[in-house]
Amino acid sequence: MAPHDREAVRRICWETGYGGDNIAPYFDDPALFTDFFCSYYTDIEPGSSFVATDGDAVVGYLFGCPDTRRYNRVFYSKIIPSILGRALRGRYRIGRKTRRYIGGMIGPFLLGGYRTPPLDLYPAHLHINIMASYRRAGLGHRLMESYFEHLRTRGVKGLHLSTSSLHATALPFYNKLGFQLYSKSKHRTGKEQITSLIYVKTLE
């Protein structure tokens, strides 16, 4: 992923951020949402991420990180403080929708609902999103294979991804690529209860 792809992938993240649909009904500010979900991949480690294009237009992306422990260190030491600083300076719109959404995310962590896979076995992770009109055209498969090869050249033996029951149509895609369900937990985003799912895969 190149620096000039930054705004395009942030836009796609916003437009596909809720089960492949626009997150706007559940979140107030695109800048806050995309700062949280995109900043590491666009600003810290863009070389491990890939984009799908139609001509000059970016129509999908795969955010990747070969070392989730590094991601965690950077995310909590740099990205979160930066976001909090902007929030305290009033740079974001944080309304009722956002507070409800964040509460739904934080609750399972506080209750121990998420089971993180062993990072010794599955150190890498990814997030993938494609614009609705370009799905089921093989772009996701090509993005995944590019990322798998990227990991193999670095000696990474396993990876994981987080998704949810909102992405029901994508689950067979992950199974076809050799991912296996590792854990699941229920939580609320807005008024809807969803099941968060973690899948793992060993690279041969």
What are the tens digits of pLDDT across the range 17-69? 998 999 999 999 999 999 999 999 999 999 999 999 999 999 999 999 999 99
Contact yes or no for 22/15 (Cβ under 8 A): yes
DSSP helix/strand/coil, 143: helix
pTM of the predicted model, to two decimals? 0.91
Contact yes or no for 201/160 (Cβ under 8 A): yes
pLDDT at 110: 46
Per-residue burial over 42-63, b if 16 or more Cβ lie within 10 Å, else e, is: bebbbebbbbbeeeeebbbbbb
Strand order in the sheet with 180-189: 50-54, 57-65, 124-130, 158-164, 192-202, 180-189
DSSP helix/strand/coil, 121: coil
CA-closest candidate to residue 97, choices 38, 22, 20: 22
- The Cα–Cα gap between 7 and 22 comes to 16
**H-helix or E-strand spanning residue 199:** strand 192-202
pLDDT at 106: 64
DSSP state of 23: S
pLDDT at 104: 74
Contact yes or no for 121/157 (Cβ under 8 A): yes
DSSP helix/strand/coil, 18: strand
Contact yes or no for 95/33 (Cβ under 8 A): no
Q: Which CATH class is domain 3-202?
A: alpha beta
Tens digit of pLDDT for each residue in 100-159? Answer: 888 777 655 544 455 789 999 999 999 999 999 999 999 999 999 999 999 999 999 999
A 10 A CB-CB count for 31 gives 15
CA-closest candidate to residue 33, choices 11, 57, 65: 11
What single letter denotes the amino acid at residue 4?
Answer: H
